[in-house]
Structure 1
């Protein structure tokens, strides 16, 4: 059982934070499922991840293709379909305790300027820690990422 890491975004964008965490996850040798709640938002993220310098290339694909199982990073709204060892939840996507228990890492990214997103993250924290999962809370309110709990 790994760790659930909550990222309270107040300065960095979700896209910047996702890129950094996805890069680290791939370096650790993990496949990642990035779960959102909105197909259009995932398509926008897909486009952003294809952009940028060659050294920051992140191999990935949108769920629903013929090669989902082989994708190092799979963007989708449903269940893990690429044998991922890490799950990144954005846009308030749900993560169950049973699902999280079998993973090396769960990343929950939420917008700190959106009261509903903060409230939803609090519910997820209580649900996952209440099920006995180890969790960490990271905030960038001071201008750099700092672990505040866990």
Structure 2
């Protein structure tokens, strides 16, 4: 079973919060697969990661850039076995995976300003709990991420 951490975005948008979380994955020697809801979102996040200032370098790729096996961070819309050997799965835009158990850790990021996204995250939490995954809940606060559950 995977450890699934839900990240409730309250103070900054995904494209600003994501680089620091991915940097933490890389700092552990980990690799990540990011599963997004659309190709447009993959392209937008790809661009955002290239111009990130903190951290200023996040090696990553997409289907458009190719060479998945060589990328520490792979951005995709396809729920398939991690082509880059990732043990971390990052879910954005309400993306869901049937492969949660294939990962050591799953980061589920959702927009706290969007009632539909919050409701969908609650449904994903309930399903993950019923499946026996380990769960934690993090919310953006004044000092960064605060563990709430």
Same fold (TM over 0.5): yes
Gaps in structure 1 of 5+ consecutive residues: none
Instruction: Report the counterpart of residue 129 of structure 1 in structure 2.
Output: 129
Q: Is 2:91 the partner of 1:70?
A: no
Alignment-derived partner of residue 138 in structure 1:
138
TM-score by length of 2: 0.90
- Aligned 8 A contact 2:19 2:52 in 1: no
Deviation digits for residues 53-96 of structure 1 (CA, Å, limit 9, x no counterpart): 49620000113554112211000001232111000000110023
Equivalent-residue separation in structure 2 for 1:116 and 1:143 (angstroms)? 26
CA distance in structure 2 between the aligned counterparts of 1:23 and 1:48, rounded to whole angstroms: 14
In structure 2, what is the equivalent of residue 32 of structure 1? 32
Q: Normalising by the residue count of structure 1, what TM-score does the alignment of the two structures yield?
A: 0.90
Q: Is the 8 A contact 1:137 1:147 kept in 2?
A: yes
Q: Is 1:85–2:123 an aligned residue pair?
A: no
Alignment partner of 1:48 is 2:48:
yes
CA distance in 2, matches of 1:112, 1:87: 20
CA separation in 2, counterparts of 1:67 and 1:127?
33
SS in 2 for 1:56: coil
Q: How many residues align?
A: 147
Structure 2 residue ranges without an equivalent (≥5): none
Query: 2:53 and 2:144 mapped to 1: Cα distance?
Result: 23
Aligned equivalents of 1:94, 1:60: Cα separation in 2: 21
Instruction: Call closer, same or farther: CA 1:113–1:143 in 2, change over 3 Å.
Output: farther
The 3 A distance-change label for structure 1 pair 55 and 126 is closer
Q: C-alpha distance in 1, partners of 2:71/2:123?
A: 30
State how 1:4-43 maps to structure 2 within 5 Å. 4-43=4-43
